[in-house]
Amino acid sequence: MFSVTRLLTADEKDRGRLVRAIRTAASETGVAHAVVEPTLPGSRNGGDILAHLRFADRAQWDCAATRFGGIFEDPAVHHVDGVTYSGTMTVAEPSTPATVYRTLLLRVAPGTSDAVVERFEADLELMPRYVDTITAWQLSRVESAIGTSPWTHVFEQRFVDADGLMGPYLMHPIHWAYVDRWFDPECPDVIVRDRVCHSFCRYA
C-alpha cells in the first residue's frame, strides 16, 4: 500500500468544510482506506485536521494528487505537514476494536549512521509487544515530505482509546527506558533533534 498523510492547520470556521471535501475526494478517487478527522486534544504540532489516505499504489496517488492538492492549498489552510510512504499495517491478534488513530512524524538527524538508525527503529518496533492498547501499527521510512522538517520516519498506530495512547503507551517503561533516549536532548543517544508532529484523532 502507498500512504499519504497530511496534517492541516486551518481556520476554525472552515474545518468542517475541509473535512467534508477531503472525504468526498477520497470517495471519488477510490482511496482504499481513509481517516479524515479533526485532531483530538493532546496532539502536539499535529494540526487541526488529520488526513490519512491509503492507496493501492503510488500510481493511484499520482492520479489523485491534483484533486487533493486543490483542497490542501485552500486559502483557509495555513500550514501543512505531511509525508508519503509505503508499507502494510500489522494488526494485533486477536484484534480489539480501535477508536483512535495516531501518527508521529519525525526526523532523524542528518549523518546518523545506518546502524544507529536500525537500532532506533528496532526500539520503536518493541512498543506494540508490550502495550496491549495498540491494535495495529506501522513504522515506515518516508519517501517524500512537506512542512516544517524533511521528515524521515512515520510511526502510526491504532489504539483502543485515547487513554490507551496517553497512559499505557506514553507512560510505559518500554517507552521511557528504550524510546525516549532517542528524543531526549540531554541524552547522548539523541538522534531526533527537530520538533515532532504527534497527531491523533477519532478512528471509526
User: pLDDT for 45-55, tens place per residue?
Assistant: 999 999 999 99
The whole-number pLDDT of residue 119 equals 94
**Which parts of the chain are beta strand (E)?**
2-10, 33-38, 49-55, 77-86, 90-91, 100-106, 134-141, 144-146, 153-159, 197-202
- In this structure, whether the domain defined by 2-202 belongs to CATH 3.30.43.10 is answered with no
**Angle of CA points 192, 196, 199, to nearest 5°:** 145
pLDDT band (50, 70, 90) for residue 184: confident
196 pLDDT tier (thresholds 50, 70, 90): very high
The answer for residues whose C-beta is within 8 angstroms of residue 31's C-beta and 6 or more apart is 53, 54, 55, 64
- pLDDT category at 85 given cuts 50, 70, 90 is very high
CA–CA separation, 170 vs 160, rounded Å? 14
- The pTM of the full predicted model, rounded to 2 decimals, is 0.93
Q: What is the pLDDT of residues 11-47, one digit of tens each?
A: 999 999 999 999 999 999 999 999 999 999 999 999 9
Local confidence band at 177 (pLDDT 50, 70, 90 cut-offs): low
Residue 174's pLDDT band (cuts 50, 70, 90): low
